Structure 1
Amino acid sequence: MVAADGVGSDLLGGSAAAPALDVLHALHAETVARRLPPPAALIGDWYDADAVIAPSVELTPGCRPPDDPDRFWFGYLGFPVRPHDASLPPDVGGHTDGVLVLRDGRWSRIGTGIPDWAEAVVHAAGDRRDSAARHRTEARPTAEWIPPERIPHLDAIAECLEAIRAGEVYQACVCTRFTGTLSGQPVDFFAELAGATAPAKAAFLQGDWGSVASLSPETYLRRTGNIVSSSPIKGTLPATADPDALAASAKDIAENIMIVDLVRNDLGRVAVTGSVRVPELLTVVPAPGVWHLVSRVEAILAPGTGNDAVLAATFPPASVTGTPKLRAMELLDVWEADARGVYCGAIGMAGPDRALDLNVAIRTVEITPDGTLALGVGGGITIDSDPAKEWQECLDKAASIVGPRGWA
């Protein structure tokens, strides 16, 4: 591993390295005590590591990822339809000179500016006698959820099917949302869910503007040097179903392939001609509470291509819009009752050498400063969609967060 300033990073935490959620809790407690901005955490498959944490970073509205960063950026980009109607700011981000990285069970630092107190926290959290659990609040967080209304969502699906029959779109991702109230600390809420479900691309961001607890399974963009890839998810069955049924589903396969073509088109806008390829197609992958069909599209960027150009060509993520993308977004603005906000946008980090790693902000809970919760859910609608099954898919996707209550 090489630090951002070209100097090899030191190992932290010794042989008893603490898990990422323990380190997050300990850093959160320390920043509260020191009256510093809180940590930001990416846990799972991030930056060729198992976790990336900024010990203390001020995240502010309107701070988007830089085109060619020499520092690390953490933040989110909200879904761009009715962005100012959402409960949280449209975009939030912040910069830091160094990060803590967990790889192969060892903590390291990359970059400069990791304070001594942060290193001490990592060492202490690695000592099982000083379990980070003591940094958690005494009362466990509780969330009271209100499900979305079934009939309006079915009506939106019916409108989408009419638009497909009319040839306006081939597919669209139609969404609704759960709402609720949180009692307790957002960091505890995130840690409890992330620990129980171990999603591939979990993220936790917080500030005076609120908090975001993302349990996403999906990679929107991953860039290393001039190689960029996207791994769209389309096709879902509950975890209790036979995964072979998903692999054999004509509807789910068509749903996935249409979005793969959209991703190929998006990346083709900035790729070296002929470099776009699909190294993985229609892989059945487990995620919390469900099975998904996942593909991966990869491309080579021309030298000098900045992150701004990549985002302009691909955002918002293909899997949460539809085909064709622009017309689908216009129609979603009409069909959906609520602004999506952070949901269906992107969360993650950017770093030196134009590194970029962003999830698709699905299975993502928005938390306002007063504890109001919002959880968007949805699914891709094709001509073969059964509205009742699409409604059930929304419940299946939410179940790992809100609980399997079997709403009809």
Structure 2
Amino acid sequence: MPVPKVFTTSDPDTFKLKALLWANSFDHVCYFDSNHYSDPYRAFDTMIAAGAIKKISRSTGNSFHDLDGFLASNEGFIPGYFSYDLKNELEDLHSSNPDHLGFPDLYFFIPDNTIFIKGSEVEISSTDPEATWEGIHNWDVKPQLDSTPVSIKSRFTKSEYKSTVNELKEHIQRGDIYEINFCQEFYAENADIDPLSIFIRLNTISPTPFSSFMKMGQRYIISATPERFLSRRGRKLISQPIKGTYARDSDKQKDEDQKKNLKTDEKELAENVMIVDLVRNDLTKSAKPGTVTVEELFGVYSFKQVHQLISTVVCERAEGLSNPQIIANTFPMGSMTGAPKISAMTLAEQYERSKRGVYSGAVGYFAPNGDFDFNVVIRTLLYNAESKYLSFHTGGAITIDSNPDREYAECVLKAKAIMEVLKQ
């Protein structure tokens, strides 16, 4: 049975790198890094889970119900992910677009080792915390391996993407939807990469508050996502949808102007407020009546490549709901669907050309005290080392005011850090 012990490090950043390299020697790894971003709901700076005592993997059936049973019969810190296509278990929907990755729809595991870093404090839970501490300290920080440059293709040409945006705007004009998150896949076949080195470079180029690296045998999630999907802290539930994106500028004054322009861009504000309304509606299914509130509307947050509009919606949790039920009540997250939710998901399936899979799902953890925290899987590489297939999606919210050229440019902007890491 794992036991916890607390240690102190004088160099947390070097320790977390060594711990990540050490963890990668296991078949199952989950790593979360806040990258020093300030967040009132953050439980730790960095978390690393390595080795699997037990796991649950589902691709069909009643996944949320099965997860409920798994959590009820197991204790401890339990990391994993929900795939976007679990929508098909929650609504009368389907996913028939090609899937080249072969990831399960749901995957969680109970780790042999968990490591939490908060400031200079390191808590290790394992069968022998002292041995784990020594093993990590003795691990060599070797130079990152160079991966072969990857040739990236897209499922859409620029003209095809713009044409599809115009078709979706026609649906909006007819009243079928108000907004839709439309995504395109970038991919590479026969890609020979070192996933951990790619993650370390991505996390350096694009540090974000919900960065994550997950390894499940031959399948990898390499993420630089800035977005929180849903968190529970005691009785409080927190969702922080992102909608609204402007590029950063190297000129300080121009960069400040970009932030001001984002804050006053009617199209970007409309995108955000529509999703805030959707999230408010989703949270009512799990909320004590009358407690859903918008804690922050249109907050401008800056990351290395982009400025983004982030809103925070909170509520008090209703009695009698399990954590998987709470997540199912809000899944998939509104920022990755559109509104109305079911109509938007139906049209996304019709116009997109690849199964989303883990993309626009959620990676996170359940804590032993009942809390949880899950991100939104965006700005993320997915890699199957067995088939050597590599994939990432980018997308944006299409509204009646969308300009197809701007929408395409936003997709390219969101792909910038990943392209840079892949030496494109």
- TM interval, shorter chain, is 0.7 to 0.9
Give the CA deviation at 1:122.
Answer: 3.2
Instruction: Give the corresponding residue for 1:146.
Output: 153
Residue among 181, 187, 209 paired with 1:179:
187
Is the contact made by 1:89 and 1:209 (CA closer than 8 Å) also made in structure 2? no
Ranges of 4+ aligned residues in structure 1 off by more than 6 Å? none
One-letter code aligned to 1:146: K
- Residue identity opposite 2:220 in structure 1: S
Partner of 1:54: 49
Within the candidate set 225, 250, 264, 2:266 is matched to 250
2: distance between equivalents of 1:160 and 1:187? Answer: 38
Given the alignment, which residue of 377, 380, 385 partners 2:397? 380
> 3-state SS of the aligned residue for 1:309?
helix
What secondary structure does 1:273 align onto?
coil
TM alignment of 1:9-408, pairs within 5 A: 9-17=4-12, 18-28=14-24, 31=25, 36-44=26-34, 47-57=42-52, 61-62=57-58, 65-66=67-68, 68=72, 70-80=75-85, 82=95, 85-86=98-99, 87=101, 88-96=103-111, 99-109=114-124, 113=127, 116-124=130-138, 131-133=140-142, 136-137=144-145, 139-140=146-147, 142-147=149-154, 148-180=156-188, 182-240=191-249, 242-369=258-385, 370-403=387-420
> Secondary structure at 2:45's aligned position in 1?
strand
Instruction: Indicate if the aligned counterparts of 2:223 and 2:381 stay in contact, CA closer than 8 A.
Output: yes
C-alpha distance in 2 between matches for 1:13 and 1:132: 19
Contact 2:223–2:378, Cα closer than 8 Å, also in 1:
yes
Distance in 2 of aligned mates of 1:144 and 1:200:
29
Q: In 2, Cα distance between the equivalents of 1:117 and 1:176?
A: 46
Q: How many residues align?
A: 387
Tell me how far apart the structure 1 counterparts of residues 272 and 341 of structure 2 sit (CA, whole Å): 15
Secondary structure of 1:385 counterpart = coil
Aligned to 1:128: none
DSSP 3-state at the match of 1:280: strand
- Secondary structure of 1:89's counterpart equals coil
* Contact preservation (8 Å) 1:40, 1:57: no
Distance in 1 between residues matched to 2:420 and 2:358, nearest whole Å: 22
CA–CA distance in 1 between the matches of 2:10 and 2:389? 40
Deviation at 1:337, TM superposition (A): 1.1
In the TM superposition, residue 119 of structure 1 has moved relative to its aligned partner by 2.2
**Mean CA deviation greater in 17-26 or 197-206:** 17-26
> How much does 1:396 deviate?
0.4
Q: Partners of 1:238 and 1:150 in 2: how far apart? A: 20
Higher alpha-carbon deviation: 344-353 or 19-28: 19-28
Residue 43 (structure 1) shift: 1.1
Letter in 1 for 2:261: A
Q: Contact 2:198/2:421 (CA < 8 Å) preserved in 1?
A: no
On the 8 A contact 1:23/1:132 being kept in 2, the answer is: no
Contact 2:286–2:317, Cα closer than 8 Å, also in 1: yes
Shift of 1:356: 1.0
Amino acid at match of 1:205: M
Aligned to 1:222, the other structure's residue is in SS state strand
In the alignment, the residues of structure 1 paired with residue 56 and residue 148 of structure 2 have an alpha-carbon distance, to the nearest angstrom, of 25
Change over 3 Å in CA distance of 1:289–1:114 after alignment to 2: farther
More moved, 383-392 vs 116-125: 116-125
Matched AA of 1:82: S
Q: Distance in 2 between matches of 1:60 and 1:189?
A: 27
Deviations 1:354-377 (A, max 9, x none): 221110000011101233211100
- CA displacement at 1:259 relative to structure 2: 0.3
Q: Secondary structure at the match of 1:393?
A: helix
What is the CA–CA distance in structure 1 between the aligned matches of 2:367 and 2:113, rounded to whole Å?
10
Point out where structure 1 has 5 or more consecutive residues left out of the alignment: 126-130
Q: Which amino acid aligns with 1:237?
A: Y
Which runs of 5 or more structure 2 residues have no equivalent in the other structure? 86-93, 250-254
RMSD (CA atoms): 2.6
* AA partner of residue 122 (structure 1): I
Write the distance in 2 (CA, Å) between the matches of 1:387 and 1:84.
23
Distance (Å, rounded) in 2 between the aligned partners of 1:120 and 1:249: 53
CA–CA separation in structure 2 for the residues paired with 1:282 and 1:14: 38
Change (3 A) 1:108 1:404: closer
